[in-house]
Amino acid sequence: MTDFTLVDPKGWEYDLHSVYSAYIGYFQIYNIPWYDRSWGHLFESFEEFLAFSWPVITVTDAWSGRPHIVTRLNSIGAFLKMIKTRFGETLPQAPNILQVTPFETATRLLRHVSDYSSYKKLHSTLPAVVLSAVKARVRAGEPKAIKEVWDRKDKTYLALAFECNERNEKSVLEWGYAAVRCGHLEALGHWPPAPDTNYRKGHYIVADYVDKVVNKYSPNYPWQYAFGESQVIPKTKLPQIIQAVISSLASPDSETTPNQLILIGHNIHGHLARLDEMKIKIPHNMLIIDTMIYERSLYSNGQRGVMQDPKGDKPRVGGSNLSFENLLYSLTLPLPPNSQGPEQAHQEQQQAATLPPLVLPQCTLHNAGNDAFMCLFALQKLLEPTGTALPSVKKLKPHKTGSPMINSGSSIPMINANGTTPMHYSGIALAPMALSVSMPSMSRPSSAYDLASEFSQMQLSMPRGNVSGSYLPYPSRLGGDRNPRRLHSFPGSKTDGLK
């Protein structure tokens, strides 16, 4: 096993141990007294069988995903030729040898196994071979591999989304995530996950760029987070927060077993590039699911029915990608019939006919938090089309932007675009909209900034006077000659802020 030779895995199809097992079974079926033959010592044990010095490689089966130590058909022929040359007897090729189709297409390392210790050492590397194959199959969007991982109900899924400056992709404007711990839910008997109660989610706005950097061709909407409270943070703290979120969900790195955490994203290679630029440490054994590639594989395999091309009136071509907006829209279409039989297909069609039409929640896309949440929901909907509940949005507070506040628990105002409307997803296929979002001068609202939801029974009370609106004032705006404000335990009272 000291030589280093790479070979093409094509043609390496016969499991080595099954070759030995097949001959023992062949002798049993045809009552051949192999133990009395001159060549019988070659079959006394698997270790004696290996003395021939078999050339082998390690692969995984393309269908089952199981690992195998395989050899070639001509190597079996060479073994039979050796018996005929040395002992003068001809053995046929044994039937029922396990034949596999290698999933791997790249060259593999060739090894020669001549004793049981070398076979055992090679066999110990099979878990790493499986991990490498599973990572490749999941990343390629193979439906069977992704479905098998989901059906185990023991992984944690983390969807990520970034909104970046269109002039400089390294400048991150927003980051959002949504996660679901399937193993925890399965242990509690909650399945499938409910997005409203079982998704952990978050949305972070970078204070260094908010209201200052505005994308012209693909505008983002940082104040339109529909599933919780946004947090405004400094740019320097974002990598620390992302690393903490990933570390809180991931298991230790390993060369033999997949990580408990699975990353999800739509067209995820851009998100991975941002993580790499921030030097975020991701375990090497982590599986990655790209919902764009996964949906494309489902459609190419006929598991999503026939769709219309979102860019025209013709049917969609197999192998084409859907934008995130059109992927969400495709979830509202009727379910395709199952391929398991006409009776079951008819039953599923009747069941689908009794269900109300799917109406997606009214949330604004190109908001990193909304994109991440809906990406995780879309993956679950593709995997659990009939059991996944629809998420509900949180009512946005109609605040307007003043100066951004760096406060992890506060309510975030909303941008009012100048003459434009954020792009909502309301059940129709939407093309990207080239909107120019500008920040007009805004008057302050007349209502007080209420902190009762954050501090329960405490509310900030400010003196009444010349009032033209309010927002949470900074100490620098109050001035040093102001009287200190008092805290009252009347959450229902209203206060006015200082201009």
Rounded to the nearest 10°, the torsion over CA 82, 85, 90, 91 is: -10
Our measurement of the distance from residue 378's CA atom to the centroid of its chain's CA atoms, rounded to an integer in Å, reads: 11
Contact 26, 95 (CB under 8 A): yes
Q: Among 259, 255, 266, 254, which Cα is nearest to 141's?
A: 266
**The tokens 């954020």 sit on which residue?**
422
Burial class (CB in 10 A: 0-12, 13-18, 19+), 37: middle
CB atoms within 10 A of CB 386: 11
Sites in the chain below the pLDDT cut of 50 = 1, 339-342, 344-345, 353, 399, 402-499
Distance CA 327, CA 265 (A): 13
| pLDDT computed for residue 350 by the predictor | 53
- Look at phi and psi of residue 94 and say left if phi exceeds 0, alpha if psi is from -120 to 50, else beta: beta
| pLDDT computed for residue 351 by the predictor | 53
Distance CA 124, CA 235 (A): 45
| pLDDT computed for residue 81 by the predictor | 96
**The tokens 């080595």 sit on which residue?**
16
The contacts of residue 241 (CB under 8 Å, 6+ apart) are 175, 204, 233
First to last CA, the chain: 80
Rounded to the nearest 10°, the torsion over CA 291, 292, 296, 297 is: -40
Q: pLDDT tens digits, residue range 97-116? A: 999 999 999 999 999 999 99
Q: How far is CA 468 from CA 7, 20, 444, 493, in A?
A: 78, 89, 7, 18
Q: Among 248, 88, 242, which Cα is nearest to 162's?
A: 242
